Amino acid sequence: MIELADVHVRLGQRDVLRGITVSLPERRVGVIGANGSGKSTFARLINGLARPSSGDVTVLGLDTRRHAARIRRRVGFLFTDPDAQIVMPTVAEDVAFSLRRKGLSREEVEHRVQEVLARYGLREHADHPAHHLSGGQKQLLALCSVMVLEPDILVMDEPTTLLDLRHSRQVADLLRGLPQQVVVVSHDLALLEDFDRVLVLDQGRIVADAEPEAAIGHYRKIMS
Ligand SMILES: Nc1ncnc2c1ncn2[C@@H]1O[C@H](COP(=O)(O)OP(=O)(O)OP(=O)(O)O)[C@@H](O)[C@H]1O
C-alpha cells in the first residue's frame, strides 16, 4: 500500500508537487502527464529518493522520511536512463552486484543471476561488457538488477522509452504477470491500457484518477 497525505514538494524556487493526497492499493498503477508535471518526482517519493517538503508518504506501513533505507530495500526503482544504474563491467557482474548485501553463497548468487538473465533474455550476454549493450538491452539489464532482489513494490520511470516494439511488449507482458505492486510513469499510453488505475498529473496536482480509458481520455483533452 502506498499513501500520500497532502504532499508538497518544493525544489529550488519551484512547487513541483502541490497537495497530493492518494492511497494506492491497486496492483498496477500508471502515472501520466505533460513534461515537467511532476511524474518523476512522484515516483521518486515512493522509494524515498525524493522527500516531501510537507505532508507524509507512507509505503508498506513505513514513513519514507524516517525509514528511507528500509524502503529502498523493499521498493525497486528503475530509472529512465539505464546507464544511471549500471555499475559493473559485465552484465552478470552488474546483476550480482545488486545481491552483494544479501550474504548469499557464491553458488547461490550465480544461480540467481543466471536465472534472472534467462528470464529477461540476456543469458547469452552474461559475460559481455554492460556498456556495449543496446539501449533496450541496458534497460532489461537494469530490470534484472532490480528484479533479482525480489522487491515488494516496483517503481518504473518511463521503462519503455528505449525499447523496440517487441521489447515494449515484453515489458507489458512482464508487468501483467508480476506478483508485485508496480507503479509506472510513462508516456507510452498503450503500456497502461490494461492497468488497474491511472493518475494524470498536471502542474503538480492530480487532475484525473480513474481507470485507464477515462484517465487517458482526460489527458488527451488537456493536451489538445
Ligand atoms: N532538483 C530540482 N531543482 C529544481 N527543479 C527541479 C528539480 N528536479 C525537478 N525539477 C523541476 O520539477 C518539475 C517536475 O519535474 P519531474 O521530473 O518530476 O517532471 P516529469 O513530469 O517527470 O517530466 P518529464 O515527463 O519531462 O520526465 C520540472 O519543471 C523540473 O524542472
pLDDT per residue, tens digit, the chain (224 aa), is 899 999 999 999 999 999 999 999 999 999 999 999 999 999 999 999 999 999 999 999 999 999 998 999 899 999 888 888 888 999 999 999 988 878 888 999 999 999 999 988 899 999 999 989 988 888 889 989 999 999 999 999 998 887 888 878 878 888 888 889 999 999 999 999 999 999 999 999 999 999 999 999 999 999 98
Question: What are 97's three cell numbers?
Answer: 552486484
Superfamily of domain 2-223 in CATH is P-loop containing nucleotide triphosphate hydrolases (3.40.50.300)
Instruction: Give me the residue spans of the domains in the chain.
Output: 2-223
Spell out which residues line ligand 1, taking CB within 6 angstroms: 11-12, 14, 16, 33, 35-41
pTM over 0.80: yes
The CB density around residue 111, as the number of other CB atoms within 10 Å, is: 12
Burial (0-12, 13-18, 19+ Cβ within 10 Å), 15: middle
Give every CB contact of residue 178 below 8 A, 6+ residues apart in sequence: 154
Please choose from 9, 10, 15, 16 the residue to mutate so as to test ligand 1's pocket, defined by most ligand atoms within 8 A of CB.
Answer: 16
Q: What interface predicted TM-score (ipTM) does this complex get?
A: 0.94
**Minimal-distance CA residue to ligand 1 atom 6:** 11
